[in-house]
Structure 1
């Protein structure tokens, strides 16, 4: 039995550790839990099929991630008895006019044959949109994707941590990794990657989400996630609260203080979508999102250490399937994905 030691307790490290522990391996996770950890500050949208990105290696990864999620969540919650906040209430993509709505519908439908897990895809009338999301304006035409889902990054990490311990693994909260690591070392430090594995060439963006409260007497929990115009998205946060995001700031800093300019910008964006209700801005969640120059994750060996990083904005979608695939690869088992697609040094 190999002792796998994992540096970093975000979605990548936790998922790899869980899948290794499932395969009866000795696992230790060292988690510094830095402020700004991307997993904890993520909106958690799982709906890759609506993306217009043309990178085939990226799409193979996130499509596999979305397909794996229902099985992964059922197994994980069954083992622990702990909720991950996973909800599959569908997803709404909004467009500026009906012409673009029609083009988008055709584009998304063209992916359905190879991704039946996306479920029903439908162009919505304003009345249908209002039925699915009574808080939202009907000004923007929408396409509905039944398989869209959301998950809480914080709740998922807590459930993974519990599962790892139940399976005999260790989870060690520490400010620093041990000076001497024996066995197989896996480095999954997110935005802090370059403290050790500089060759992985991971940088980071500061991303800010705003929690808002919509003042209304409507109280629904079965609300689809929303992909708004441009990079905006809206996720139900319970009790008439929603996350809206996100900002994107390239940085080399790790500042997690709230930025009033960003908060006002996100509140202005929220007012585009909740036109019939007053809105209160509540609090911000700031995450340091690791990414690479080609926006593909880095998965592979660097100087004798196995590095998994740079998951970017699709980290929560791809993280669980990356954990499964990396665990299988390291154990010499057959993988579904070709991981050399994500080794930038190969």
Structure 2
């Protein structure tokens, strides 16, 4: 088939890559909008620690995490490029000692069907400090060995290289063309409503603080209190996030309030450390009315994929593979009919 993919974030790039592997003729059109969520995100691949109870979502991200090693190895072998993915392990913070045994049981109960999560262990303060010396030891913590991270922009850029190596086209455009292929797939993220009105898409403004601390090492990712996270990129570079601000604006200017909030968190998590080279990154994270990714065939020639939200970098590669199999008439691991949307749907 001749297929147009509109949008070059993690969803569009992954779909294009996998469709090309299935032998289709694929052209990607991307505006490179400022604030594209994929290019701002520092993805933590650790879905097993989530407390979200939605079974459809959890199956997607669990299988997405399981697919990652194969996906990354294949992608890096094809392109000769590094994706910014590494198995980092994760330090998990909790507010007090009382919740620690419950959290330990909740997470380890998932181990049987997700052995790739690795081993979950209790950390003493000394053990935590050995893994991440600059980090606060104020909070009780666990360590999950199988967690990993990926640099969203780096991964997207390598996917673009792979698309072109496989014979696809990747076009930066100010406005995508009218549908003219056998199939057009809209993966426009926060800007999805510009191109189709069938699936309403909303977005959040997510702001992250980037900074450096003098160090030559890399460290585990940190899943802090509430929704805080810290990612180590190596060479003393860190990102801390993220804010969650519902908005209808496409302004990606950082706000003073968000910077102040994130600075306070940085000072809490890195007490006594000198933070240098401070900067803010802002992304627009798309979501849909049922807070699940939407995979919707609008007509024989039109498909919509959107709403990957904060788990886009975990789910995107697998979702691309599954959609390519569905388009090609192959069996899928996921029941994609569970990712359609009907008016009135809630969080399923």
TM range (shorter): over 0.9
305, 318, 321: which one pairs with 2:315?
Answer: 318
Kindly indicate whether the alpha-carbon contact (under 8 Å) linking 1:32 and 1:176 is maintained by their aligned counterparts in 2. Answer: yes
Q: 2:251 — aligned with what?
A: 255
Q: 1:208 — aligned with what?
A: 207
Give 1:84-99 correspondences, 5 Å limit: 84-99=83-98
Q: 2:175 — aligned with what?
A: 176
Q: 2:303 — aligned with what?
A: 306
Kindly indicate whether the alpha-carbon contact (under 8 Å) linking 1:137 and 1:276 is maintained by their aligned counterparts in 2. Answer: no
For 1:181 and 1:284, the matched residues in 2 are separated by 39
Shift of 1:237: 2.6
For 1:173 and 1:253, the matched residues in 2 are separated by 23
Q: Does 1:329 align with 2:333?
A: no
Q: 1:32 — aligned with what?
A: 31
Shift of 1:45: 0.8
Structure 1 stretches (4+) deviating beyond 6 angstroms?
Answer: none
Give 1:261-280 correspondences, 5 Å limit: 261-280=257-276
For 1:341 and 1:285, the matched residues in 2 are separated by 33
Q: Does 1:245 align with 2:244?
A: no
RMSD: 1.2
For 1:131 and 1:101, the matched residues in 2 are separated by 20
Kindly indicate whether the alpha-carbon contact (under 8 Å) linking 2:4 and 2:179 is maintained by their aligned counterparts in 1. Answer: no
Give 5+ residue unaligned stretches, structure 2: 344-348
TM-score with structure 2 setting the length: 0.96
SS in 2 for 1:29: strand
TM-score with structure 1 setting the length: 0.96
Q: Does 1:61 align with 2:57?
A: no
1:12-51 residue CA offsets vs partner (Å, 9 max, x unmatched): 0000000011111100000111000000011211100000
1:173-193 residue CA offsets vs partner (Å, 9 max, x unmatched): 101111342211101000001
Give 1:193-232 correspondences, 5 Å limit: 193-214=192-213, 216=214, 218-221=215-218, 223-232=219-228
Instruction: Assess, with a 3 A threshold, how the Cα gap between structure 1 residues 88 and 146 changes in structure 2: closer, same or farther.
Output: same
For 1:256 and 1:6, the matched residues in 2 are separated by 24
For 2:307 and 2:236, the matched residues in 1 are separated by 33
